[in-house]
Chains A and B, each alone.
Chain A
């Protein structure tokens, strides 16, 4: 009995640690989406599909084309950054003046389009990069080094984005425009350029997420649907556009999925996380870190 309890605890601890590592990845996923919402006031429902395109791009460059991953990863960042800017320029910009819900729905069209395009181009088979990173044990816990790596890179990227937004001129302009859309043009800042730059940054963050995810998961045209809904639920729970709130919400969600999945079953972990999300919406409709709404 005593030994059973001990093993149970170590597995639970392992699930919690894995949840923290997963939380870092979620934090990176939600950061780009949150930034775009905060600045442009548009929810990219297709954000996870940009990541999916990035994963396919890395796979295509590395395996069929035989390029080194050291070339494929930066190329994917650049490509998805450009894709983000193109998405804003060709699709979001024409509907900026329309009803907010139309902006959300037009990106839903992009979701279908990219998913189907990936199916046409790469088929429905699962693709794998075939990179096996060794696992290791710490204090009787078995951890995967690709998860640890993705956690470290995600936290570093979040730190860099933070630095960029608070210390550089462009970053300050981005934050300024998210605070007052009307006054910034009068201060000589061109909002359209800021929107374009923000979309490109959001794209680069999606490209980075693609680099980290491709090391852990097989690629499939519908892979976006597995973590896409999660990503914007995290953003909403943290308060759409609130970067710190999104960061905190990422770790809460990841714990639900990791520990809930460990105690019950993977789907029940997700169900619990979603039910928790819906409950939170009623307690804190404007996000975790908001003052209690009346």
Chain B
């Protein structure tokens, strides 16, 4: 029964993939990033800007997922954390007029409590691999069904819209975290995405990083040399859950509409996993590449096929995911980096 510990040796997870990056390459990266800051001023219009914002938000969320996913903890329950974050801000704002700034904090605290309730016993009882994936999947379904069942407060499966604070022609409201101008959202999303990458970097430099690597390869061996397995795994899980809850709140505030199926449940949880895997979950920019790839794919298919053939884009998406996992399990960026070295 205990097959999940068979983490084969054929998937060496590079500890420092970016360590070989030379100084010049780093300079090029920084220059590209600096140019990217000017993106809203290129005058491309609202639609490209919207796409970039959505890509950045998803990049941040996939990165949050991959922070634990890359360590062999494949969670299918991150829809739960995203849903908790999104619904916390919207419900507190709509029902009590509490600012989303406080709503985000409440959402993160709730997500951390849920992650602790699930994570502690899971790691204590060595629920790993398939079992961990399916227990967390149950969690994301619980959250989705609770949202649907509380339809008097949440609007059920029809979703809910945060009350607008921009009624009198105001273009922004800082307390309500609502901005009419997409440029503001661009910088918020860009900031969150960069923060996600910085957290990834800090997590890599943290002393427990090597312990986590050891755990993901062989828990028993790691425990035998004195690594506190449960506590270390729990730390990463809490970090990832909290980050995802912030992502859910960000998504809700930007879209100004949430619905149980777009922020929680099995479909959104699987989407996070696939996004991270398609880009490559073992490299820092992998989830970002995955988010851009999935968005570019769905937008291209939508434009090419049009809206009347509902579902064609998802068919291609599903088929590509299958091909990816069979032929390119390290993802786009992961495979490219491996070729180069």
Contacts and interface: CB of A to CB of B under 8 A. Distances in A.
A binds B: yes
Interface residues of B, number: 54
A109 interface: yes
A114 B322 CA distance: 12
Interface string B46-61: 0000000000000000
B322 A109 contact: yes
Given A232-B134, A274-B141, A116 B129 contact: no
Interface stretch (B189-197, B238-246, B312-320): B312-320
A13 interface: no
Contacts of B315: 113, 116-117, 120
A180 interface: no
Contacts of A236: 131, 134-135
A179 to B, nearest CB: 12
A102 B325 contact: yes
B112 interface: no
A229 B135 contact: no
B330 to A, nearest CB: 11
A278 B118 contact: yes
B3 interface: yes
Chain A binding surface SS class? helix
Interface in B210-263: none
Contacts of B8: 97-99
A100 B3 contact: yes
Nearest to A239: B1
A292 to B, nearest CB: 11
Nearest to B130: A43
B175 interface: no
A268 interface: yes
Contact of B129 (A101, A106, A120, A277): A101
Nearest to A284: B125
Contacts of A118: 311
Nearest to A124: B310
Nearest to A45: B270
B116 interface: no
A69 interface: no
B133 A101 contact: yes
Contacts of B133: 101, 104
A94 B323 CA distance: 10
A236 B138 CA distance: 11
27 contacts: A104-B130, A105-B274, A106-B325, A108-B274, A108-B321, A109-B274, A109-B318, A109-B319, A109-B320, A109-B325, A110-B322, A112-B314, A113-B315, A116-B311, A116-B312, A118-B311, A119-B311, A120-B309, A120-B315, A221-B311, A225-B266, A228-B266, A236-B134, A268-B149, A274-B139, A285-B126, A285-B127
Given A104-B130, A112-B318, A124-B310, 17 more contacts: A91-B322, A98-B329, A99-B329, A101-B130, A104-B133, A109-B325, A112-B270, A113-B314, A113-B315, A115-B314, A116-B312, A229-B138, A233-B137, A267-B146, A270-B141, A278-B138, A285-B126
Interface of B: 1, 3-4, 6-8, 11, 72, 74, 118, 121-122, 125-127, 129-131, 133-135, 137-139, 141-142, 145-146, 148-149, 265-267, 270, 273-274, 277, 309-315, 317-322, 324-326, 329
Interface of A: 41, 43, 91, 94-95, 97-102, 104-106, 108-120, 123-124, 221, 225, 228-229, 232-233, 236, 239-241, 265, 267-268, 270-271, 274-275, 277-278, 281-282, 285-286, 293
Lowest 10 A-B CB distances belong to which pairs?
Answer: A113-B318, A119-B311, A116-B314, A112-B318, A109-B321, A267-B149, A109-B322, A282-B121, A116-B315, A120-B311
